[in-house]
Amino acid sequence: MTDGNPWRKTPAVFRRTAPWPVAGFLLAALLAVRPHAAVAHTPYTAPITNDATFDYGLSSFLGSGIYSINGQNVQLYRIPVTFDLRTEPPERTQYYAQFPVTFGFYGFVPTDVLQGDVPKSVDTISGLAGLESRTRLNDEWRYLQLIAVGYTVAARNPDKQLAGVQSALERAAPWQAWRVRWRNEALAAVTTGRGSSPEKILRLLEGVEMDRPQSWSVLGRQAAIGAYGVVRWYGGAAPFTSNGEALRLEEEAGVTFGTAEPIRVLKIPLPRLSLGYRRTSTLNVFFLGFGTPF
């Protein structure tokens, strides 16, 4: 869980050219989505046909996207808020306070806006408080560790508490004019509430993000446009089911818009935007994201 692209200040490693065959292959494969897949559109209050699998208390860790929660199609928007706790001079390990907020809307997808169908209220809201360490292993590799707790409120449902840990290994390296980030991640979390048994989740993630600085600027910062691909595997609770069978593999690809170095307001970096496409065997959707795509 990061506040932004790790290449905001371009280090020396990005001033040389290096091959990136694995990242290029993964990104190309993820972008090759099925031509017959269509944008999912569900009436605002209508439940979807998938069985409910995800507990809404996990919202803070799920990230932006569309999920099956309590028998309904739920669009989640996660807004990252990060405070830099670094010391001077910079140490090998830096610490960050994380306070992301996640909003959820039942049965809503961005294309509904084009038809004048917009949510009239927020159906779920989830907050998270965590401490993240980022350890620089060398010029290209770093290790990230997050420990966090959270709280979720949902319409017509009991409140939920959340605790989780997240570990990730990242590599940042150049490929021609592109800046490339590769990420391996493992997430374990548990949520519980009054009158319900704990819900556990394990998620493994493999992702590649490529962006390229542009010749124009946004609010005085050099613009950057990129593309990304992600594969997620879920243990414990699964994001979707079909005919009672858990669907544990999820693919996603999309494009990102932002700046090479973050724009900050009151020392808080503003998140970049992404337009993503998620695909499972039962639901194919476009959605908007804030912050890094993974």
79-133: pLDDT as tens digits: 888 888 876 667 889 999 999 999 888 766 555 544 555 556 678 899 999 999 9
Domain count, the chain: 1
For 40, the token pair is 């999912």
- Looking at the predicted structure, is the pLDDT value of residue 39 above 50? no
Give the tens place of pLDDT for each residue, 159-188. 999 999 999 999 999 988 899 999 999 999
Report the C-alpha gap between 7 and 280 in whole angstroms.
Answer: 31
**Three-state DSSP class for 272?**
coil
* Residue 59 confidence (pLDDT): 81
Q: What is the CATH number of the domain that holds 61?
A: 2.40.128
Question: For 41-58, what is the mean pLDDT?
Answer: 48
**């290096």: which residue's tokens?**
18
3 assigned to some structural domain: no
- Looking at the predicted structure, is the pLDDT value of residue 238 above 80? no
Q: pLDDT band at residue 53, thresholds of 50, 70 and 90?
A: low
5 assigned to some structural domain: no
1 assigned to some structural domain: no
Report the C-alpha gap between 270 and 263 in whole angstroms.
Answer: 6
2 assigned to some structural domain: no
* Residue 137 confidence (pLDDT): 94
Strand locations in 176-220 (E): 178-193, 199-218
151 assigned to some structural domain: yes
Domain that includes residue 57, residue range: 12-290
Q: pLDDT band at residue 147, thresholds of 50, 70 and 90?
A: very high
65 assigned to some structural domain: yes
Report the C-alpha gap between 10 and 177 in whole angstroms.
Answer: 12
For 46, the token pair is 């209508």
148 assigned to some structural domain: yes
Question: For 42-61, what is the mean pLDDT?
Answer: 54
For the entire predicted model, the pTM comes to 0.74
- Looking at the predicted structure, is the pLDDT value of residue 10 above 90? no
Question: Residue 57 has what DSSP assignment?
Answer: G
Residues forming a β-bridge with 247: 240
Any idea which of 59-73, 210-224, 254-268 has the lowest mean pLDDT? 59-73
In terms of DSSP H, where are the helices of the chain? Answer: 21-31, 59-62
For 58, the token pair is 């996990």
**Residue partners of 37: CB distance under 8 A and separation at least 6:** 279, 284
- Looking at the predicted structure, is the pLDDT value of residue 135 above 90? yes
229 assigned to some structural domain: yes
Question: For 50-77, what is the mean pLDDT?
Answer: 71
* Residue 52 confidence (pLDDT): 45
Mean pLDDT of the chain: 75
Question: For 47-61, what is the mean pLDDT?
Answer: 61
